[in-house]
């Protein structure tokens, strides 16, 4: 465990650089330690049981596919049923523990996660190929999600709200109560924050959970569940099952013992779950899905700022953030200058093993993702686009054992082209020229997605029009540190509109925890109000 000597500097996704030598060497030490732990076998967590299985899958590093990061069981429907039964058995005790005690446990867990930030980030960098700042950010975001959701619960004193009265002997209050057992299905790209954050929301509200992480990134979700157990969250309150979505995920989807489901992942899987989960009867489901996030650059923009913001959001973690900027609408009069500046900045990006300090970009998650990249490049060329920079896959210095695309900027495609509409989740940004802000807004809104968006403009009227009309759950204006990316708990709440999210309430924000509860109106007759 790397806890000693790790500097306490808060790393967020907007941290531009880390010249702090102490931080760099603490991370290097953590990587060395992490390498010594690779290939271990891990169990599923079912009630108090650590359940291993002969049937396992290998979680391999995208940096070098020969490296097995961890081995986890291929869970069966029976394993999931047992986990649900354990979560159901644990529910009433966890609910009755009360919100004060629950947030105490969550805050303790948050502190442990922060203390182990370097240990976890190093494992994450190897597991999914994040660079060190991104990995450190993911871990610290997890801790801050626990803290922020705990603060929300405390601010609302557990959501017991006195209501009006129609007579002196009538006392009414509105109480939010947990539902029971929630399934938490997570994607690969924020392996800790997007397992831990949703699980924490459900748990703080008083539910118990069955977590199912992505098979590309189960390790950090496992570490999160272990931390909760370590601080005293009872076994049955937090369960973790592993294995493919088609079996393990499907059991969570169909089992009537699941009272609510929170999913983060692709539009395709999310929409399927959204329609099938409520087929028999209404059950709450929160789906956070993909994005095709636009940036608009008007003629009044600071073009260096715009190019920097686009470059960071399009290529940070190889474009594998749901908030990644993947299309830009730039005013025709400044388009060439903007593209040239973007290309110049992109050429300077170092791509390679992301555990090494000098590399800002690493691999994409797997061979399938690399295939999407090469197909998109070929399609862009075939359809008359210009590859301004990138378009290649690295093959030297061991990179051929991983999946390393180069950051790619494409211009010249018609605005209706599929590459302006389909989420690719690779480092590939398309640039379209427009004649006005209105045209840019029309294009920006013309996809089923509505997650994040950004504008670069020095004209207040333009900025106001953008803020009034853009259809997205998270928007940014003139953000050099990321045109469309970089939300942080308690600062930018994060969620999608339209095909990007189902609930209209954002994660990381003030209305999230409430979604894991249902309201009960309690009217009690008597001379005195009932005890709290
Ligand atoms: P994915 O949809 O392939 O997988 C997400 C999870 O769903 C995984 O755990 C997977 O095993 C599971 N799953 C797959 N099929 C299933 C099924 N039939 N039933 C139940 N579960 C099933 O997504 P991914 O590739 O891991 O992640 C990338 C996607 O996630 C992108 O589209 C990205 O935009 C999106 N994402 C969205 C947000 C957000 O907050 N809106 C955040 C991160 C990622």
Mean pLDDT of the chain: 96
Residue 290 CA to ligand 1 center (angstroms) comes to 8
Structure tokens that stand for 143 in this block: 């801790």
CA of 272, closest atom in ligand 1: 18
**pLDDT tier for residue 4 given thresholds of 50, 70 and 90:** very low
Residue 339 CA to ligand 1 center (angstroms) comes to 32
- Per mean pLDDT, which range of 43-47, 243-247, 345-349, 355-359 is the poorest? 243-247
CA of 215, closest atom in ligand 1: 11
The pLDDT value given to residue 177:
98
- Per mean pLDDT, which range of 8-12, 109-113, 293-297, 315-319 is the poorest? 8-12
This prediction's pTM:
0.96
Residue 281 CA to ligand 1 center (angstroms) comes to 24
Return the residue matching tokens 């942080």.
Answer: 488
Residue 456 CA to ligand 1 center (angstroms) comes to 30
Map out the domains of the chain with their CATH numbers: 44-289+505-520 (3.40.605.10), 293-488 (3.40.309.10)
- Local structure of 476: helix, strand or coil: strand
pLDDT of 2 above 50 = no
Catalytic residue, from 140, 253, 288, 388: name it: 288
Residue 496 CA to ligand 1 center (angstroms) comes to 14
- Per mean pLDDT, which range of 35-44, 245-254, 311-320, 451-460 is the poorest? 245-254
Residue 163 CA to ligand 1 center (angstroms) comes to 40
CA of 188, closest atom in ligand 1: 26
Query: 364: burial class by Cβ within 10 Å (0-12, 13-18, 19+)?
Result: buried
Is 423 one of the annotated active-site residues of the chain? no
Whole-number Cα distances in Å, 442 to 374, 381, 435, 438: 29, 26, 12, 6
Return the residue matching tokens 């189902």.
Answer: 502
In this predicted model, what pLDDT tens digit does every residue of 431-468 receive, in sequence order? Answer: 999 999 999 999 999 999 999 999 999 999 999 999 99
State which of 269, 323, 421 you would mutate to test the pocket of ligand 1, scoring each by most atoms of that ligand within 8 A of its C-beta. Answer: 269
The pLDDT value given to residue 17:
65
Q: DSSP state, 469?
A: H
**pLDDT tier for residue 261 given thresholds of 50, 70 and 90:** very high
State which of 244, 265, 271 you would mutate to test the pocket of ligand 1, scoring each by most atoms of that ligand within 8 A of its C-beta. Answer: 265
CA of 425, closest atom in ligand 1: 31
* Nearest protein CA to atom 16 of ligand 1, as residue: 245
In this predicted model, what pLDDT tens digit does every residue of 303-331 receive, in sequence order? Answer: 999 999 999 999 999 999 999 999 999 99
Element (H, E) at 521: strand 517-525
For range 471-499, the mean pLDDT: 97
Catalytic residue, from 140, 253, 322, 433: name it: 322
The pLDDT value given to residue 245:
81
Is 288 one of the annotated active-site residues of the chain? yes
Closest to 152 (Cα-Cα) out of 473, 514, 496 = 514
* Nearest protein CA to atom 30 of ligand 1, as residue: 265
The pLDDT value given to residue 6:
54
Who contacts 335 (Cβ-Cβ below 8 Å, separation ≥6)?
A: 411, 431, 433
**pLDDT tier for residue 3 given thresholds of 50, 70 and 90:** very low
Beta strands in 418-468 (DSSP E): 428-434, 452-456
Pocket of ligand 1 (CB under 6 A): 185-190, 194, 212-215, 245-246, 249-250, 253, 264-266, 269, 288-291, 322, 423, 425, 451, 496, 500-501
CA of 269, closest atom in ligand 1: 2
Helix 21-35, helix 132-155: angle, nearest 10: 100
Residue 115 CA to ligand 1 center (angstroms) comes to 29
Q: Across the beta sheet with 474-477, what order do the strands follow?
A: 386-389, 408-411, 428-434, 325-331, 293-297, 452-456, 474-477
**pLDDT tier for residue 16 given thresholds of 50, 70 and 90:** low
β-pair type (56-60, 517-525): unpaired
* Nearest protein CA to atom 39 of ligand 1, as residue: 288
Residue 186 CA to ligand 1 center (angstroms) comes to 6
* Nearest protein CA to atom 43 of ligand 1, as residue: 322
CA of 507, closest atom in ligand 1: 40
* Nearest protein CA to atom 19 of ligand 1, as residue: 249
The pLDDT value given to residue 238:
98
**pLDDT tier for residue 170 given thresholds of 50, 70 and 90:** very high
The pLDDT value given to residue 459:
98
* Nearest protein CA to atom 35 of ligand 1, as residue: 265
State which of 75, 142, 187 you would mutate to test the pocket of ligand 1, scoring each by most atoms of that ligand within 8 A of its C-beta. Answer: 187
**pLDDT tier for residue 20 given thresholds of 50, 70 and 90:** confident
Q: How far apart are CA 479 and CA 320, in angstroms?
A: 19
* Nearest protein CA to atom 26 of ligand 1, as residue: 187
CA of 423, closest atom in ligand 1: 32
Whole-number Cα distances in Å, 513 to 151, 183, 516, 532: 10, 15, 6, 21
Residue 274 CA to ligand 1 center (angstroms) comes to 13
Q: How far apart are CA 195 and CA 222, in angstroms?
A: 9
- Per mean pLDDT, which range of 3-12, 127-136, 206-215 is the poorest? 3-12
């Amino acid at each position: 465990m790397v806890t000693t000597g790790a500097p306490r500097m808060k790393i967020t996704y907007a941290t531009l650089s880390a010249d702090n030598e102490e931080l760099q060497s603490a991370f290097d030490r953590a990587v060395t330690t992490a390498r010594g732990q690779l290939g271990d076998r891990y169990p599923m967590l079912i009630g108090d049981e650590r359940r291993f299985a002969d049937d396992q899958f290998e979680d391999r590093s995208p940096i070098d596919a020969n490296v097995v990061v961890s081995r986890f069981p291929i869970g069966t429907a029976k394993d999931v049923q047992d986990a649900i039964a354990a979560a159901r058995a644990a529910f009433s005790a966890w609910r009755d523990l009360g919100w004060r005690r629950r947030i105490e446990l969550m805050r303790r867990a948050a502190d442990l996660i922060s203390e182990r930030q370097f240990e976890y980030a190093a494992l994450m960098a190897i597991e999914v190929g994040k660079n060190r700042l991104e990995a450190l950010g993911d871990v610290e975001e997890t801790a801050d999600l626990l803290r922020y959701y705990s603060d929300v619960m405390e601010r609302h004193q557990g959501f017991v709200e006195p209501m009006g009265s129609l007579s002196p002997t009538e006392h009414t209050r509105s109480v939010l109560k947990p539902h029971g057992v929630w399934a938490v299905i997570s994607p690969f790209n924020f392996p800790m924050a997007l397992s831990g954050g949703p699980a924490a929301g459900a748990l703080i509200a008083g539910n118990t959970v069955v977590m199912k992480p992505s098979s590309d990134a189960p390790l950090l979700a496992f570490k999160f569940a272990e931390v909760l157990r370590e601080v005293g969250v009872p076994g049955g309150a937090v369960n973790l099952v592993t294995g493919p979505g088609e079996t393990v995920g499907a059991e969570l989807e169909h089992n009537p013992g699941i009272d609510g489901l929170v999913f983060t992942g692709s539009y395709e899987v999310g929409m399927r779950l959204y329609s099938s989960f409520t087929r028999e009867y209404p059950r709450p489901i929160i789906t956070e899905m993909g994005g095709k996030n636009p940036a608009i650059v008007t003629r009044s923009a600071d073009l260096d700022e715009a190019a920097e913001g686009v470059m960071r959001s399009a290529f940070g973690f190889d474009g594998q953030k749901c908030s990644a900027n993947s299309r830009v609408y730039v005013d025709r009069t400044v388009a060439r200058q903007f593209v040239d500046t973007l290309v110049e900045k992109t050429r300077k990006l170092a791509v390679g093993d992301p555990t090494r300090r000098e590399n800002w970009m690493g691999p994409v998650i797997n061979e399938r993702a690399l295939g999407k990249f090469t197909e998109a490049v070929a399609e862009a060329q075939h359809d008359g686009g210009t590859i301004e920079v990138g378009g290649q896959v690295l093959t030297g210095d061991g990179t051929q054992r991983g999946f390393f695309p180069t950051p790619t900027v494409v211009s010249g495609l018609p605005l209706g082209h599929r590459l302006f509409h389909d989420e690719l989740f690779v480092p590939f940004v398309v640039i379209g020229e427009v004649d006005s802000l209105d045209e840019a807004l029309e294009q920006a809104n013309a996809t089923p997605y509505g997650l994040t968006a950004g504008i670069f403009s020095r004209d207040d009227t333009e900025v106001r029009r953008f803020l009034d009309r853009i259809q997205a759950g998270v928007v940014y204006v003139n953000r050099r540190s990321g045109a469309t990316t970089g939300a942080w708990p308690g600062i930018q709440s994060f969620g999608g509109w339209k095909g990007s999210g189902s609930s209209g309430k954002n994660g990381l924000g003030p209305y999230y925890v409430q979604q894991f509860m249902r309201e009960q109106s309690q009217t009690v007759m008597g001379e005195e109000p009932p005890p709290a």
